[in-house]
Structure 1
Amino acid sequence: MATTGERKDKLEFNKLQKRLRRLTGSAIVDFNMIEEGDKVMVCLSGGKDSFAMLDLLMSLQKTAPVNFELVAVNLDQKQPGFPEEVLPAYLREVGVPFHILEKDTYSVVKEKIPEGKTTCGLCSRLRRGTLYSFAEKIGATKIALGHHRDDMVETLFLNMFYGSKLSAMPPKLRASDGRNIVIRPLAYCKESDLEAYAKAKQFPIIPCNLCGSQENLQRQAIKQMLHDWERRFPGRIEQIFGAMQNVAPSQLADRGLFDFEGLTLDRTGERDPYAFDEASVTDWSEGVAAPVAPAGVQMIEAVEIQ
């Protein structure tokens, strides 16, 4: 018989799983990520997020109103000590079709990037090119990446602080050449929920050791900043993510996004009343304070300036 603690843990896990399923399903629907007949290439890195994404997509596939295919793909970048047997064993166990790609991007990154410098940018570009090419080869119509809400918010600040650009990771993206579409089904999911889910499911996590610890990475600094904000002001990250979905181009300063130069007056027709638009006006042009009353307001005597 289950103990009280075990029953409580099971209840909490069920709530967490339902929440993640609901949020993942909502993101898929809101951005039309998966359509009838899609072949979704699920990019599995071995980290908690991609494991959770695959697990949730497999669960949703059983009840989805559209038919779609899942195929898991891992890119073995030939990092020293990478446990090659872990992912194939897991994928066979869960019964999803998969491919393991092998490409020594590790050596390229270590050759090109000086010791102590950030390797993530080059590593991502090399990985992306390989995955895009393979998606075409197998006829995948969508490429699913495991980025979550916190990743997207962090990227927003990274681009603002270090790139002077207001952009982030979109939930759905068409590659610049139009040949691939990337989706992020975990766009609405919190990292803390995914961490708890991965722990409860006991996924065989494989840490990325390409970059070592690199404690001074720009993303780590942004992550710490957001963590501090969230601790002091609970809900702050959710508010920032909400702002990313509620953009007002006319209230920013991008001349390519909004036609500021072409703005013109238009006082034709009747207007709606302004709030508090009937103010008292004082005319000082004749050397005296001469109140000018709005319509319907009684005038008071002019007051001579002393």
Structure 2
Amino acid sequence: MDAQTEHPAEAVRKSPEATGAVPAIFRKGPSSVEFKKLRKRLLRQTREAITDYGMAPVVDSGTARPKWLVCLSGGKDSYCLLVTLMELKWRGLLEVDLIACNLDQAQPGFPPEVLPKWFADNEIENVIVREDTYSIVTDKIPAHRTYCSLCSRLRRGILYRIAREQGCEAIVLGHHREDILETFFMNLFHGGRLASMPPKLVNDDGDLLVLRPLAYCAEADIAKFARGMEFPIIPCNLCGSQDGLQRDEVKQMLQGWEKASPGRLGIMARALGNTRPSHLMDRALYDFMHLRPGSTESGTGVGVGEAEEPCAASLGMTANLFAAE
């Protein structure tokens, strides 16, 4: 089995330390068994997401390798993303060239020397662009309102431009499992729709991919990894300084659920990839109008004839009832 078809769980079984010379970035971090397991888990989950959603391009022999623009904000998530992708590439499991990109948005207190030094110390190809989006955001949005929406739109547009200038086919973002779940509940509670951030999409202009390889990775694991690797974290002092954000409320809600029932967030994340259109209420997604007894086809071509499934909560309560007898 070659490197392209090898199962993700098999591909990360051997440590880099056992295979020869190791890049400097991989020699950092604790040598404990627990940390090695954490690192392998993040590596495996990242490769699984890349495989499941067809993120990695098929590279023909004799052609130039595609480039990915890996967006590095200086936060724990983007550091973890970049280092994990670097290791996959080093192992021969990711046939792309990586360019780390930091967008300096001219926020007060941003330390401009941190990332250039980190890139240089670890011999990482990079591009740093300074664009004063901070002044635009603070001028357009009142201080008591959240900046995230406008800030992200401006940032995304600049990153698209940089990706095109660098000849990249994709921009790669560090959103993890909890980010995706939080966005789902934000849309549910405040947007009136069932939607989140997909692991892979094409931009509106149709010329670039947007990838989220950490879609399966838990935030707690990423935080532990970042602490172990001692990444030079740069906090966001723009939106991060505003209290009472709706996303913060959703985050606290999810953390409360996970604390009360460990493993619940993993189940919820799997649910996003296991939908039943015929068991929802979206008439554009499922042809309820033409659904009749004995029908075998749907105008939308999905799901007709699915048996009604019992509620999981009802099944659980029934099992508990009989178990008590």
- State the TM-score bracket (shorter-chain normalisation): 0.7 to 0.9
1:27 maps to 49
Please tell me the residue identity of whatever aligns with 1:120: C
AA partner of residue 166 (structure 1): L
The amino acid across from 2:261 in the alignment is: F
Distance between the aligned counterparts of 1:94 and 1:207, measured in 2?
21
Q: Deviations 1:103-126 (Å, cap 9, x if unpaired)?
A: 100000000110121101110000
2:181 maps to which of 153, 173, 190:
153
- SS for the counterpart of 2:128 is strand
- Distance in 2 (alpha carbons) for counterparts of 1:217 and 1:9: 38
In the alignment, is residue 101 of structure 1 matched against residue 129 of structure 2? yes
Structure 1's unaligned 5+ residue stretches are: 1-7, 269-273, 275-306
- Please report the TM-score for the alignment, with normalisation by the length of structure 2: 0.78
Bigger mean CA deviation after superposition, 124-133 or 174-183: 174-183
State yes or no: 1:130 paired with 2:158: yes
Taking the aligned partners of 2:96 and 2:141, their CA distance within structure 1 comes to 40
Alignment partners' CA distance in 2, 1:240 and 1:88: 38
- AA aligned to 1:198 is A
Partner of 1:243: 271
**Counterpart check, 1:91 vs 2:119:** yes
What is the CA-CA distance between 1:212 and the residue it aligns to? 4.7
SS in 2 for 1:178: coil
Paired residue secondary structure (2:241): coil
Q: Cα distance, 1:67 vs. partner?
A: 2.2
| Deviation of 1:237 (Å) | 0.7
Partner of 1:17 in structure 2?
39
User: Shift in Å at residue 265 of structure 1?
Assistant: 2.6
Q: Tell me what 2:261 maps to.
A: 233
Deviation per residue, 1:202-259 (Å, 9 max, x gap): 0000000012522200100000000111111111111110110101111111111111
* 1:85-141 CA-partner distances (Å, limit 9, x unpaired): 100110111111110011100000000110121101110000001101111111101
Deviations 1:21-80 (A, max 9, x none): 111111111111122322111000000000010011101101234521000011000001
Name the CA distance, whole Å, in 2 between partners of 1:197 and 1:203. 9
- TM-score, normalization by structure 1: 0.83
> Who is 1:257 aligned against?
285
Q: Which one-letter code corresponds to 1:14 in the other structure?
A: K
2:199 is matched with which residue: 146, 165, 171? 171
Taking a change above 3 Å as real, the CA distance of residues 49 and 121 of structure 1, as seen in their structure-2 partners, is same
Q: Which moved more, 1:10-19 or 1:62-71?
A: 62-71
Secondary structure at the aligned position of 2:282 is classed as coil
- CA gap 1:267/1:181 in 2 versus in 1, 3 angstroms: closer
Question: Which residue of structure 2 aligns with residue 82 of structure 1?
Answer: 110
* Partners of 1:216 and 1:152 in 2: CA distance: 20
Could you tell me how far apart the structure 2 residues matched to 1:122 and 1:267 are? Answer: 47
3-state SS in 1 of match to 2:32: helix
Find runs of 4+ consecutive structure 1 residues off by over 6 angstroms: none
Aligned residue for 1:187, secondary structure, equals coil
Query: Structure 2: which 5+ residue stretches go unaligned?
Result: 1-29, 60-64, 297-306, 308-325
Once residues 141 and 274 of structure 2 are traced to their aligned partners in structure 1, the CA distance between those partners, rounded to angstroms, is 38
| CA distance, structure 2, for counterparts of residue 93 and residue 248 of structure 1 | 49
Superposition RMSD in Å: 1.7
Percentage of pairs with the same residue: 50
Which amino acid letter does the alignment assign opposite residue 34 of structure 1? Answer: A
The match for 2:22 is none
Which whole-Å deviations, capped at 9, do the CAs of 1:169-209 have from their partners, x for residues lacking one? 11111112212101111111000000000000000000000
C-alpha contact (below 8 Å) 2:277/2:285 kept by paired residues: yes
Rg larger for = 1
Q: Is the 8 A contact 2:56 2:95 kept in 1?
A: no
